Amino acid sequence: MRRVQVDEQIVGKFSAKTIYNRTGRTPLLRRGTRIRPSMVAALQRRGIQAIWVTDELFPDLEVQAVVRDETVNVTRRCLEDIFKSAKEKAPPSQAQALRLAAALRSLVDDILHNDDVVANVAHLRTWDNYTFEHSVQVAILSVLVGKHLLMTEDQLVRLGTGAILHDVGKVTVPQEILQKPAALTADEFEIIKQHPRLGWDLVHEGFQNIMPTSSIVVLQHHERLDGSGYPSHLKGDEIYVFSRVVAAADVFDAIRAERNYRARYAPRRVLQIMQEEAGPKLDASAVQAILAHVAIIPVGEIVRLTNGLLGAVTGLNQGHPLQPVVTVVADDRDEPIERDELDLRGTPLHVDQILNDWPPGLVNRVQEFTGIRSGR
Ligand SMILES: [Fe+2]
């Protein structure tokens, strides 16, 4: 299964997980349901931007989530409340802050209990509500990093709370600027650059008593070790450790995501950017923890290899982020071939590209081919 953006492209696919409504009790879409056009509209109306679907060619491929769905849903609801208030420029109440911290405690608990050496954190495929979804991802990534940097449970909760709130100041930035499908003008960038300070002004008081170190992250997450960041051009140790972790997670998630103003980066480019930024700009140990313990190309993704073969990622290799285990199903001209599980580690091959879906018609051709091969 893999995570896909909710749009017309998912019509005909099968839901791989049950989706619940806001209360978490009524199912909106049950696992195994074939998706009809009316369901796409219903999901979109309820603000559900991405769902898990079963892969037609790999129906049995399960993805082990780092954080349980219930935990993610509760956390999302708490954050949604805070974002809603923030839009009205109202700081979160003490009660909202405490609820969010409690949700983060469950999230930390899930991550501490997960023993995957390399974690699958799904790629973000959402355009309309990018800031919100990105915030949840950055919280998960930051806690994973903190875990591998051997932070205590309490530290992880404070780190995760800061991470999930890091972009809260963006809710006051006009949508036209946030979603502009082109490069920003200098003036527009100046407006974006205000979001750490705006966010800090908003949450600082509410979180002052319960977890002051979380709100520092909101203010500092765009500071860079060499002083080239904003808003205060802090350097090195002047930047609090939580902020340094969140900065690395923020960059990783942003460059990995597909955005409405640019195509998805090739995985090799993602790795290269992270390696270049580690040291001069981003905390090297945080980057190292991400590259060692978070999959750049998670299990379930459809990938094209450097020799043109097409398949799905079916296993991960720690320390070889571009060389997972890939089960190939088609050649470089998208013609079906005998299914083969390739462990790319130790070979000259790596993943060249991640695709959003199988090329048109390929699913049928592969199914026919497999049927013929097995004598059906
Ligand atoms: Fe930000």
Look up the CATH number of the domain holding residue 27: 3.90.105.10
Separation of CA 187 and ligand 1 centre (Å) = 17
Q: Point out the domain boundary residue: 227, 259, 293.
A: 293
pLDDT score for 355: 93
Q: How far is CA 23 from CA 27, 110, 177, in A?
A: 10, 21, 32
Separation of CA 246 and ligand 1 centre (Å) = 10
Mean pLDDT is lowest, of 126-130, 141-145, 254-258, for 126-130
Separation of CA 86 and ligand 1 centre (Å) = 15
Separation of CA 301 and ligand 1 centre (Å) = 27
Helix, strand, coil tally for the chain in percent (to 5)? 45, 15, 40
Separation of CA 114 and ligand 1 centre (Å) = 28
- Check whether 334 has a pLDDT greater than 60: yes
User: Which residues are registered as beta bridge partners of 27?
Assistant: 20
- Do 139 and 239 lie in one domain? The reply is yes
Nearest Cα to Cα of residue 193 among 243, 233, 228, 230:
230
Tokens coding 128: 């309309």
Is residue 281 included in any domain, yes or no? Answer: yes
Is residue 181 included in any domain, yes or no? Answer: yes
Q: Is the pTM of this model over 0.85?
A: yes
Separation of CA 297 and ligand 1 centre (Å) = 24
- Do 178 and 84 lie in one domain? The reply is yes
Separation of CA 199 and ligand 1 centre (Å) = 9
Separation of CA 197 and ligand 1 centre (Å) = 10
- Do 277 and 314 lie in one domain? The reply is no
Tokens coding 293: 């313990």
How far apart (Å, rounded) are the C-alpha atoms in residues 255 and 203? 27
- Check whether 197 has a pLDDT greater than 60: yes
Is residue 61 included in any domain, yes or no? Answer: no
Mean pLDDT is lowest, of 251-260, 318-327, 343-352, for 251-260
| Structural domain for 120, as ranges | 69-293
Mean pLDDT is lowest, of 42-51, 148-157, 286-295, for 42-51
- Check whether 23 has a pLDDT greater than 80: no
Separation of CA 191 and ligand 1 centre (Å) = 12
- Check whether 376 has a pLDDT greater than 60: no
The mean pLDDT of the chain is 91
pLDDT score for 310: 98
- Do 120 and 48 lie in one domain? The reply is no
- Do 272 and 352 lie in one domain? The reply is no
Q: Indicate the number of domains in the chain.
A: 3
User: Which residues are registered as beta bridge partners of 20?
Assistant: 27
Q: Point out the domain boundary residue: 257, 272, 293.
A: 293
pLDDT score for 373: 65
- Check whether 24 has a pLDDT greater than 80: no
pLDDT score for 157: 96
Is residue 347 included in any domain, yes or no? Answer: yes
Separation of CA 195 and ligand 1 centre (Å) = 7
- Do 207 and 130 lie in one domain? The reply is yes
Which amino acid is present at 307? N
- Check whether 232 has a pLDDT greater than 90: yes
- Do 287 and 217 lie in one domain? The reply is yes
- Do 84 and 167 lie in one domain? The reply is yes
Separation of CA 82 and ligand 1 centre (Å) = 16
- Residue 125 or residue 178, greater confidence: 178
Q: pLDDT band at residue 165, thresholds of 50, 70 and 90?
A: very high
- Check whether 149 has a pLDDT greater than 80: yes
Is residue 256 included in any domain, yes or no? Answer: yes
- Check whether 21 has a pLDDT greater than 80: no
Is residue 147 included in any domain, yes or no? Answer: yes
Is residue 116 included in any domain, yes or no? Answer: yes
- Do 100 and 249 lie in one domain? The reply is yes
Q: pLDDT band at residue 374, thresholds of 50, 70 and 90?
A: low
- Do 94 and 220 lie in one domain? The reply is yes
Could you report the per-residue pLDDT of 84-105, keeping only the tens digit for each?
A: 989 888 888 889 989 999 999 9
Is residue 31 included in any domain, yes or no? Answer: yes
- Do 211 and 358 lie in one domain? The reply is no
pLDDT score for 213: 87
How far apart (Å, rounded) are the C-alpha atoms in residues 125 and 53? 13
pLDDT score for 132: 86
Separation of CA 237 and ligand 1 centre (Å) = 20
Separation of CA 168 and ligand 1 centre (Å) = 8
pLDDT score for 150: 96
Q: Point out the domain boundary residue: 293, 321, 348.
A: 293
The CATH number of the domain holding residue 129 is 1.10.3210.10
Read off φ and ψ for residue 63, nearest 5 degrees: -115, 125
